[in-house]
Structure 1
Amino acid sequence: MGKREHTVNPWLVLAENNHLETKRLRLRPVTLADAAAMYQYASDDETVRFVFPKHTSIECTKKEIASYFLKEPLGKYGIELKENNVFIGTVDLRMIQLFCAEIGYTLNKAYWGHGYMPEACEVLKKLAFEQLKISRLQAVHDARNPKSGRVMEKIGMKKEGLLRQSSERKGEIVDDWMYSMTLGEYQQ
């Protein structure tokens, strides 16, 4: 690998791209007005089983929105269906280093199986490689949740390996699968 100068300011790029669109989706900043819709899925055991602790009240959801999405909003998007403006989940593009970013997501289970998450991740993948000029895009999922890995595969990411006992979720130490895509793979 050759040495590469990185002149992109990732925070400016993310600020300039805080609203994105796909054929069916609108990706936009999460607000407190999304609390009821987020609570609907964040309080569902099946939806959040492999991601984060279940929300126990709308107040809990509002606190999470404020502390995670509002405190540092860049690269964090609410997913809204264009056809009816319904908030169905979230997707993040987190800068790990100047040359590496990570995608993460949560989707209301009522909308699983419609290709919404791969569609949302595709636009973030394009943003990451074409505007943020990263060399590597990565994502991890709980090894017990292969459906999340299918999203990663659908956007062209490759399974790299098992990160044994790498995460703590709900008091349990769990294995994660790591997926990635390099700039060279993206350009092919």
Structure 2
Amino acid sequence: MEASQLMLILAENNHLETKRLYLRPVTLADAAAMYEYASDEETTAYVFPRHQSLAETREAIANFFMAAPLGKYAIETKAEHKMIGTIDLRVEAEALRGELGYALNKAYWGQGLMPEAAMALLSLGFDSLQLLHIQAFHNLENPKSGRVMEKIGMTKEAQLPLSRLWRGKPVGEAMYGITREDWLKHVL
């Protein structure tokens, strides 16, 4: 499938729905809800630098989520209609590969919401985009993120010791992944 076809499929699927969640484009109206968790040290410890102001969150939304919105979603609860996190599927069209990334307000941890959102993106990636492989990375000091990956059927494919610099210190990462073939076995 050509890159332009993949982008069209992502554009056609910019709103997804699960049992408890809406996945939709991130807008500036989400700034206060995002700042709630983006300014929290525990939530951001392994994901991105903690936001220092609402203005910084608005800039992040404009520059990351709105500048190139395809494959990037706000996670909104159906019950509260509150934006509680983000999830994205970055597609490498030439290789038919994707990378999953996510962040969730800690007030919603442990409820199975992130695996629910991630399963929707795996379905999009494998069923609609026909990707061959989807991967995700987590800091070795953050095994909870790896647990999310396991819950959605991913397996650890590599452990990368001291693979990148994070907040001024070398850290290791684990790479998890799932193939389209394994996805089809997992969901059937």
Normalising by structure 1, what TM-score?
0.94
How many residues align? The count is 183
Return the alpha-carbon distance in structure 1 between the equivalents of residues 46 and 9 of structure 2: 30
The amino acid across from 2:168 in the alignment is: G
Fraction of identical pairs, as percent: 54
The residue type paired with residue 63 of structure 2 is S
Matches within 5 A, 1:26-65: 26-65=22-61
Q: Are positions 1:146 and 2:160 aligned together?
A: no
Residue pair 2:156, 2:177 contacting (<8 A) in 1 also: yes
Cα distance in structure 2, aligned partners of 1:172 and 1:25: 36
Q: Which residue of the partner structure matches residue 86 of structure 1? A: 82
What corresponds to 1:3 in structure 2?
none
Question: What is the DSSP-based 3-state SS (H/G/I as helix, E as strand, rest coil) of the residue aligned with 1:74?
Answer: coil
Q: Secondary structure at the match of 2:63?
A: helix
**Counterpart Cα distance in 2 of 1:177 and 1:65:** 27
Indicate conservation of the 8 Å contact 2:99/2:134, yes or no.
yes
Match of 1:131 in 2: 128
Is the Cα–Cα contact under 8 Å of residues 51 and 169 in structure 1 kept in the other structure?
no
1:68 alignment partner in structure 2: 64
The SS at the match of 1:85 is coil
Q: How does 1:12-23 map to 2 (within 5 A)?
A: 12-23=8-19
2-side partners of 1:15 and 1:143: how far apart? 33
Q: Specify the SS of the correspondent of 2:14.
A: coil
Within-5 A mapping of 1:150-165: 150-165=147-162
* Structure 1: stretches of 5+ with no match in the other structure: 1-5
Displacement of 1:19 in angstroms is 0.2
1:120 match: secondary structure: helix
Q: CA deviation at 1:186?
A: 1.1
Cα distance in 2 for residues equivalent to 1:94 and 1:120? 15
Contact 1:164 1:174 in 2 (8 A): yes
SS at 2:70 equivalent? coil
* Deviations, residues 23-79 of structure 1 (Å, cap 9, x unaligned): 000000000010000000000000000011000000000010011001100000000
Distance 1:168 1:97, change over 3 A: farther
Structure 2: gaps of 5 or more residues: none
Provide the rounded CA distance (Å) in 1 between the counterparts of 2:73 and 2:166.
Answer: 22
Structure 1 residue 173 displacement after superposition: 2.2
Match of 1:107 in 2: 104
Quick one: distance in 1 between partners of 2:31 and 2:165?
25
